[in-house]
């Protein structure tokens, strides 16, 4: 059975007290995640170790929001994926659109970062997505193909070690999610493009959607055949809403699929 994924991106929010309250809130509503759908939370770097403690034995995984493309060295201010791993992280988001927008990250860097993350034993959650202007000018597939090829050119294939996230920039933090039809069409495009390199890998690769997902729209998005879960921003900061989204995700798993 192919697993589903729900990943919370806490962005630059939180502190020791609110992080603890958020995990306790999630656990109060969901004592144990269902093995058919993995739950991951991605706090800001300084809180990774706190989250390692808070999530020990809970079935909730921890990830970072970024990682260096180097494992070690004279790179002031950077964080090695090895350090993330040592502090309890199992995942790292790579190439989030806010890093492209505010830190000038480009496709090549995304590819190198993904490779370093895999080398360190992390699962990269590689983000791709077009801007509103790129969509309006009919360049969505050109942009997605370029971003995808840059990332996968470095990685080639790494079975079960990568998650791909389709995050159209115009849907992130805007409250306007992409329609289920758009999401399905772009996920299908991404999967087909990867299948050119490796069919089996493409079929197994989890492709998740991110951009203004809430409990109210989750089921329509997650029911699409090529959607394997979600990357959640603002709604991941509210335990009740995050767990409600998780429960919607579970509903999309056919009842005859054993855990
Ligand atoms: C994100 O930051 O990855 C994201 C999807 O944000 P939001 O859910 O707030 O749109």
Task: Determine the atom of ligand 1 nearest the C-alpha atom of 93.
Answer: 3
Calculate how far, in angstroms, residue 106's C-alpha sits from the geometric centre of ligand 1.
Answer: 19
Averaged pLDDT for residues 153-167: 84
pLDDT at 254: 85
Per the residue annotation, which of 98, 105, 167, 186 is the catalytic one? Answer: 167
pLDDT at 10: 98
Task: Determine the atom of ligand 1 nearest the C-alpha atom of 212.
Answer: 10
3-state secondary structure of 179: coil
Give the residues surrounding ligand 1 with Cβ less than 6 Å away: 9, 167, 172-173, 210-213, 231-235
Averaged pLDDT for residues 23-36: 96
pLDDT digits (tens, 9 = 90+) for 89-136: 999 999 999 999 999 999 999 999 999 999 999 999 999 999 999 999
Tokens encoding 216: 């109210």
What domains appear along the chain, each with residue ranges and CATH number?
4-30+41-53+60-251 (3.20.20.70)
Our answer to whether residue 13 is catalytic in this structure is: no
pLDDT at 2: 86
Q: Mean pLDDT score of the chain, rounded to an integer?
A: 95
- CA-closest residue to ligand 1 atom 7: 233
Report in angstroms the alpha-carbon separations of 203 from 147, 160, 187.
Answer: 19, 11, 12
pLDDT at 43: 98
pLDDT at 38: 97
CA distance 85 to 81: 6
Instruction: Give the single-character DSSP code of 177.
Output: P
CA distance 220 to 238: 21
Task: Determine the atom of ligand 1 nearest the C-alpha atom of 235.
Answer: 8
Q: Given a cut of 60, is residue 65 above it in pLDDT?
A: yes
Q: Which of 7-16, 77-86, 148-157, 179-188 has the lowest mean pLDDT?
A: 148-157
Q: How confident is the model at residue 155 (pLDDT cuts 50, 70, 90)?
A: confident
Calculate how far, in angstroms, residue 156's C-alpha sits from the geometric centre of ligand 1.
Answer: 27
C-alpha Rg value of the chain to the nearest Å: 17
Task: Determine the atom of ligand 1 nearest the C-alpha atom of 11.
Answer: 2
pLDDT at 243: 98
pLDDT at 13: 98
Closest CA to 66 of 18, 28, 103: 103
Binding-site sequence positions for substrate: 9-11, 173, 212
Averaged pLDDT for residues 3-27: 98
Per the residue annotation, which of 38, 96, 130, 248 is the catalytic one? Answer: 96
pLDDT at 157: 67
Total-model pTM = 0.96
What percentage of the chain exceeds 70 in pLDDT?
A: 98
Mutation test of ligand 1: which of 232, 235, 236 has the most ligand atoms closer than 8 Å to its C-beta?
A: 232
Calculate how far, in angstroms, residue 73's C-alpha sits from the geometric centre of ligand 1.
Answer: 32
Binding-site sequence positions: 9-11, 173, 212
Our answer to whether residue 105 is catalytic in this structure is: no
pLDDT at 257: 63
Contact 7, 232 (CB under 8 A): yes
């Amino acid at each position: 059975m192919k697993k589903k994924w729900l990943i919370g991106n806490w962005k630059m929010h939180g502190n020791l007290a609110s992080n603890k309250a958020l995990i306790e809130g999630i656990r109060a509503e969901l004592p144990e995640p269902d093995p058919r759908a993995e739950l991951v939370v991605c706090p800001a770097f300084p809180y990774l170790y706190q989250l390692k403690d808070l999530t020990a034995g809970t079935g909730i995984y921890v990830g970072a929001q970024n990682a260096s493309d180097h494992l070690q060295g004279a790179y002031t201010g950077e964080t090695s994926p090895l350090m993330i791993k040592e502090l309890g992280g199992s995942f790292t988001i790579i190439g989030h659109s806010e890093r492209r927008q505010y830190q000038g990250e480009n496709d090549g860097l995304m590819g190198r970062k993904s490779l370093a993350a895999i080398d360190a034993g992390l699962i990269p959650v590689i983000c791709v997505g077009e801007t509103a202007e790129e969509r309006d000018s009919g360049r969505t597939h050109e942009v997605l193909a370029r971003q995808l090829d840059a990332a996968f050119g470095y990685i080639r294939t790494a079975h079960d070690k990568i998650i791909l996230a389709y995050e159209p920039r115009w849907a992130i933090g805007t409250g306007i999610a992409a329609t289920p039809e758009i999401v399905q069409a772009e996920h299908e495009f991404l999967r087909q493009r990867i299948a050119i390199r490796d069919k089996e890998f493409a079929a197994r690769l989890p492709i998740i959607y991110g951009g203004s997902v809430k409990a109210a729209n989750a089921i329509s998005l997650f029911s699409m055949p090529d959607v394997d879960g979600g990357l959640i921003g603002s709604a991941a900061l509210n335990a009740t809403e995050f767990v409600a989204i998780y429960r919607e995700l579970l509903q999309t798993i056919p009842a005859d699929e054993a855990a």
